[in-house]
Structures are given as structure tokens and as C-alpha cells.
Amino acid sequence: MIDRDGCNGRDGQRAASQEGSGAGGGVAEQRQNLMSVRLRVWRQKNLQDKGRFEEYEATRLTPDMSFLEMLDVLNEDLQRDGNEPIAFDSDCREGICGMCSLVIDGVPHGPGRGTTTCQIYLRSFADGATITIEPWRAGAFPVLRDLIVDRSAFDRIIAAGGYASVNTGSAADANASLISQARSEEAFDAAACIGCGACVATCKNASAMLFVSAKVKHLNMLPQGQPERRERTVAMLRAMDEEGFGHCTNEYECEAVCPKEISVEHIAFLNREYLRAQVIATGFRPVVTDE
């Protein structure tokens, strides 16, 4: 995965180190590039603990290290000194899985647009900066430990309708079902949602409408999603309500922090889908039912 500055993710630091140790006094150059930051990190033992900020000095860093590598280095230091490491989520570290979930200086996924926490590099911060790191803050995402929250509420919303139960055949059968370029691209844009929850974490209403709209639109735009189209829309919104997420009041904060730049236009689509499902439930049959 290439980040927006052309650095190869986790390997970027290694590549930079190799360059630095080559001919031409690389070691001195590497020393020059070392940086340190002061971290204010949310520590919380478990669900019941009230939690608090603790401060740490992270040293021996380079600008090409990823933000999560910095936490790895800090954790190694903490463990070596007999302290509890900081718990945080990550998996792919390539902007794909949606696991990484840190609020950095008040912004879910930190500085930069269209970027996950794992794609943030220390060159985005000044040497000596103080950086505040918190977990997602939302009632429906309880903090399990330190920076890890329980996002199983999203799984339950998906279980309520984020699937297609028709037999869609094998890969070869896909060619038999024609889908316009425009429609497939819209569905694909929606399918880019990685379920990270940043949209919820940034919204003053803790609304999950951007997430739900992406999941609904992804399936409702495609032929395979038509049999359950109405039920899916209603069931996923009902599940969202039951999980305690709020509703959209057009703040646009979700779109601003979404690492996949999911547009709030998807929420408008979701609202139309919901209205249509409610009207059809009354027995009324509109002449045109598709977008």
C-alpha cells in the first residue's frame, strides 16, 4: 500500500533506514532525523474503570515511522520497564480492515483526508509536539480497554440486513446480469466503507447513518440486492436505533473524517429508500420504484 506521500507503509521506515545506512555518512543523517513526541494517552483498565490520561515521552522516532509503529516502540519500552502496554486495535495496517481506530488530537483517524490511523506517518507532526490519543467516543461503542472499543453494534446492524440471501451463482454467472457502469460505480463507492466507525466517533449525535447508508446502498443498487431491498433498509435502520446510535442532522463531520471518503449523498439515498419502503408498506405501488 502506497501512502499519499509515496511511502510504502510499514516498509517505509525500513527502506529509509537502509538508505540512511548506505554510503555517504548515512548514520549521522539518520541521527539527525530522529524525533520525539509527548503523548497524552487514554488509559482505562476495563469497561467499569473511569479512565484517565497518562503522559509518555516517545523517543528514537523517525518521520517515516507510522503512527502505530510509534505505539509499538513505546509499548516495547513500557513492557521492558515492567509496565502495562497500551492496548489498541489494528490488523492490516494498509487502510483495508477498519480495525485501527484512534482519535488523534480530537480527530478520528488524525490528520489528513481519506486516511486511516494506520496510514498516518510521524512526518505529519512536529518534532517535540504533544499528541493526544483517545478511543472512539460513543455510547454504542463502549471502551473495553485503553484505546479499544467494542464495535459489535456494527456487526448486529449488518446481521439485520446487510446481506443478499438469493443464490447469485458462481463468478461466471455474474456476466449474465448486466449492470450499467454508473450503477456499478455507485455501488462500488458505497462498498468501500470499511466499517471503522470514525463517522460515529466524530458526530455530535453519534449517528451511524453514513455507515448504514453505505451498507444499504451497496446492496440496494445491485440486482442481487433487490429481493430484500425494502426489508433491508427498514431492518438496518431499526437495528441502528436499537443499538443507541443517533440520527443525522446534516453536520457533514462524518464525510470529513471518513477514510474512504463516503459521501453524505448516500444518507440522502438512504432516506429516500426508507420513505419508499414506508409508502410501499401501506399498499401503495409507485409507478417507478428504482433510482
By the criterion CB under 6 A, which residues form the site for ligand FES? 90-93, 95-100, 116-118
Choices 53-61, 132-140, 257-265, 282-290; region in contact with ligand SF4 by CB under 6 A: 257-265
Q: Which one, 3 or 64, has the nearer CB to ligand SF4? A: 3
Per residue, the 3-state secondary structure of the chain, as one string, reads: CCCCCCCCHHHHHHHHHHHHCCCCCHHHHHHHCCEEEEEEEEECCCCCCCCEEEEEEEEEECCCCEHHHHHHHHHHHHHHCCCCCCCCCCCCCCCCCCCCCCEECCEECCCCCCCCHHHCEHHHCCCCCEEEEECCCCCCCCEEECCEECCHHHHHHHHHHCCCCCCCCCHHHHHHCCCCHHHHHHHHHHHCCCCCCHHHHHCCCCECHHHHHHHHHHHHCCHHHCCCHHHHHHHHHHHHHHCCCECCCCCCHHHHHCCCCCCCHHHHHHHHHHHHHHHHHCCCCCCCCCC
- Report the partner that residue 199 touches, choosing among ligand SF4, ligand FES, none (CB closer than 5 to 8 A by kind): ligand SF4
Choose, by CB under 6 A, the member of 41, 210, 222, 264 that binds ligand SF4.
210
* Spatial CB neighbours of 129, under 8 Å, sequence gap ≥ 6: 37, 38
Radius of gyration of the chain (CA): 22
C-alpha cell at 286: 409507485
Q: Which one, 135 or 259, has the nearer CB to ligand SF4? A: 259
* Spatial CB neighbours of 127, under 8 Å, sequence gap ≥ 6: 35, 36, 37
Q: Which one, 16 or 103, has the nearer CB to ligand SF4? A: 103
141 makes contact with ligand SF4 (CB under 6 A): no
Q: Which one, 74 or 190, has the nearer CB to ligand SF4? A: 190
CB of residue 273 to ligand SF4, shortest distance in Å: 16
Choose, by CB under 6 A, the member of 197, 203, 219, 229 that binds ligand SF4.
197
Q: Which one, 9 or 259, has the nearer CB to ligand SF4? A: 259
CB of residue 144 to ligand SF4, shortest distance in Å: 18
Does residue 76 contact residue 90 with C-beta atoms inside 8 Å? no
269 makes contact with ligand SF4 (CB under 6 A): no
Q: Which one, 9 or 108, has the nearer CB to ligand SF4? A: 108
Choose, by CB under 6 A, the member of 193, 235, 237, 239 that binds ligand SF4.
193
Binding mask 211-250 for ligand SF4 (x = CB under 6 A): x--x------------------------------------
- Report the partner that residue 70 touches, choosing among ligand SF4, ligand FES, none (CB closer than 5 to 8 A by kind): none
C-alpha span between 31 and 18 (Å, rounded): 13
Q: Which one, 9 or 225, has the nearer CB to ligand FES? A: 9
138 makes contact with ligand SF4 (CB under 6 A): no
- Report the partner that residue 260 touches, choosing among ligand FES, ligand SF4, none (CB closer than 5 to 8 A by kind): ligand SF4
Judged by the rule CB under 6 A, the positions of this chain that interact with ligand SF4 are 193-199, 210-211, 214, 258-260, 262
